[in-house]
Amino acid sequence: MKIMKETRHIPVLLNEAIAMLAIGSGNTVVDATLGGGGHLIAFCHGVVPGGKVIALDVDASALERFRNRISDNPDVQTMFEDESLVLAHGNYSDLGGVLKQQGVAFVDAIFADLGFSSDQIEDRERGFGLLQDGPLDMRLDRESEMTAAMLLHSSSVDELRHIIREYGDEEEASRIARAIIRAREERPIETTTMLREIIENVYPAAKRRKLKIHPATKTFQALRIVVNKEHEHLKMFLEESVRYLRPGGRLAVITFHSGEDRIVKHFFQELSRGCVCPLGFPVCRCGKKASLKIITKKPIIPSVDETNRNPRARSAKLRIAQKNP
């Protein structure tokens, strides 16, 4: 497979993320989601001289695409050559493993921009885009085993209903799950077009007229989340991040839908809460200390100008927390 040199991805909330992470010369920074490298390039400029940036992506083609265009940016290329920029293929849930491999014990800032990039959506072979015909794949890591087609084939109607409702927030989950089962009895559902048409055919017309998105959007989102175990990996990543942040270091996460934003919000709230002893206890017995301070009481969202320039930024939310001493 030939990897394009260019990226189609426009970084979201770039200035806001850079400013809030308070990155400076000599810092060590993790970009847990390289994608098109938009944020990464800004991190590289922010840590020179003397700093280090470690970037990872679970999708090997994102790394290859970035390597192919590294010479476009001489400062970044210099960092790559002297190994102060490290590009690693890995899942952010294994952040600790990646950092150990690099001999890094603590970092000053960690950043994650969740989900998928425009490069992935626009590559029909990946099966993320519901409006382009392609295999029903949806794996971010092409070395992982389960594709969306396999998930559709192996799940019961109850499992499908649960997946579509829980991860897609789709009110028509039951109707869609039953239609999938009926369709797969006739022939395997192997392409994005097949799945999209199954959903279009059963979606109530009156409801459809009121929708601002395609009726298959939420089902596609749900399948992608489950195929890639996105929520499980996100929870592990957040735990790992707190472990490896230096006191005073910051963690910034950009989310794109309510399920993942809830996970980040609750994690920050939980770790920013100190003693949980019942009211009236004269002294603390639980010993719980707040390990994070929330920097963004409300998430930062893109300006109207940004969403006009880049409609994919529409649902983005940036949350930042700082590790307590």
Ligand X SMILES: C[S@@+](CC[C@H](N)C(=O)[O-])C[C@H]1O[C@@H](n2cnc3c(N)ncnc32)[C@H](O)[C@@H]1O
Q: List interacting residues with ligand X (CB under 6 A).
A: 9, 11, 32-33, 35-39, 56-59, 62, 91-93, 113, 115-117, 140, 233
Burial 27-55 (b: 16+ CB within 10 A, else e): bbbbbbbbbbbbbbbbbbbbbbeebbbbb
Least separation in angstroms between residue 87's CB and ligand X is 12
Distance, CA of 142 to CA of 148 (rounded, Å): 12
Q: Please identify, using beta-carbon distances, which residue of 112 and 189 lies nearer to ligand X.
A: 112
Residues ≥6 apart with Cβ < 8 Å to 43:
18, 23, 29, 31, 53, 109, 111
Q: Are 181 and 155 in contact (CB under 8 A)?
A: no
Question: CB of 12: closest distance to ligand X in angstroms?
Answer: 7
Nearest residue (CB) to ligand X, 115 versus 249: 115
Nearer to ligand X, 64 or 166 (CB): 64
Residue nearest to ligand X (CB): 35
**Rounded Cα–Cα distance for residues 123 and 291 (Å):** 41
CB of 148 to ligand X, least distance (A): 15
Shortest distance (Å) from residue 170 CB to ligand X: 22
Name the token pair of 87. Answer: 């590009």
Joined tokens for residue 263: 């996970």
CB of residue 279 to ligand X, shortest distance in Å: 40
Distances (CA, A) of 129 to 121, 191, 261: 5, 11, 22
Q: Is 31 or 172 the residue whose CB approaches ligand X more closely? A: 31
CB closer to ligand X, 9 vs 161: 9
